[in-house]
Amino acid sequence: MGNCQAVDAAALVIQYPSGRLERLYGPILASKVMRMNPGHYVSLIIPLPVSEDGQGNQDPNTVRFTRVKLLRPTETLTLGHAYRLIPSQEVMKVMRAKKYAKTKRESMKRLQQNGQGRKTDAETTNQELKHERQSSRTAPVKSAAMKSKSWRPSLQSISEAGS
């Protein structure tokens, strides 16, 4: 009789996008796996157990894969771990999404910083109107004097000659 769990710990598992599993019984460089599978990246699967729901009804075989770490080509796949091949298109899609999210976050942060330092056009216009109303209330004589001295054109008459 053999111990099956001891064999699993002495192997590394590579999961292909098709769902096929491959077991290797020695360490291997990620670059070698990538050469054998062009257009794919190798990632380490980091399993985290599902938290108990408080009633103790957790299935011990249930595992939730919450994190996938891409490996560099120089890294070595080690025994006792599970790895997954990920198509390069998926990696690029995720990287674009992360870059977009980062850019959006930075622009929102920049807008918030600018908004705190400067007033909006509507706030500036409202303050100017309030200032005009206050100045017209405090100096009614001055505003009346300004109204009477409005600009009038001064044209000299031109005589018509030619009769």
- 6-49 pLDDT, tens digit per residue, is 445 688 999 999 989 999 999 999 999 999 999 999 999 887 76
Rounded CA-CA distance 129/117 in Å is: 21
- Domain ranges, ordered by start, for the chain: 4-50+60-87
Whether residue 75 contacts residue 123, with contact meaning beta carbons closer than 8 Å, is answered with: no
Q: According to the model, what pLDDT value does residue 146 have?
A: 52
Rounded CA-CA distance 126/72 in Å is: 58
Rounded CA-CA distance 110/120 in Å is: 15
Q: According to the model, what pLDDT value does residue 5 have?
A: 46
Beta strands (DSSP E) in 53-99 are 63-70, 76-77, 82-87
Q: According to the model, what pLDDT value does residue 4 have?
A: 46
Cα angle 84, 90, 96; round to 5: 130
Q: According to the model, what pLDDT value does residue 35 have?
A: 94
Q: According to the model, what pLDDT value does residue 67 have?
A: 74
Q: According to the model, what pLDDT value does residue 2 have?
A: 46
28 HSE (CA, 13 A, CB side) = 20
* Residue 30 CB coordination number (10 Å): 20
Cα angle 76, 82, 85; round to 5: 80
- 111-149 pLDDT, tens digit per residue, is 888 766 555 555 666 666 666 666 555 555 554 555 556
Q: According to the model, what pLDDT value does residue 124 have?
A: 62
- 75-90 pLDDT, tens digit per residue, is 999 998 899 999 999 8
Q: According to the model, what pLDDT value does residue 94 have?
A: 87
> When comparing pLDDT for 112 and 160, which is higher?
112
Residue 3 CB partners (closer than 8 Å, separation 6+): none
Looking at domain 4-50+60-87, its CATH class is alpha beta
Residue 32 CB partners (closer than 8 Å, separation 6+): none
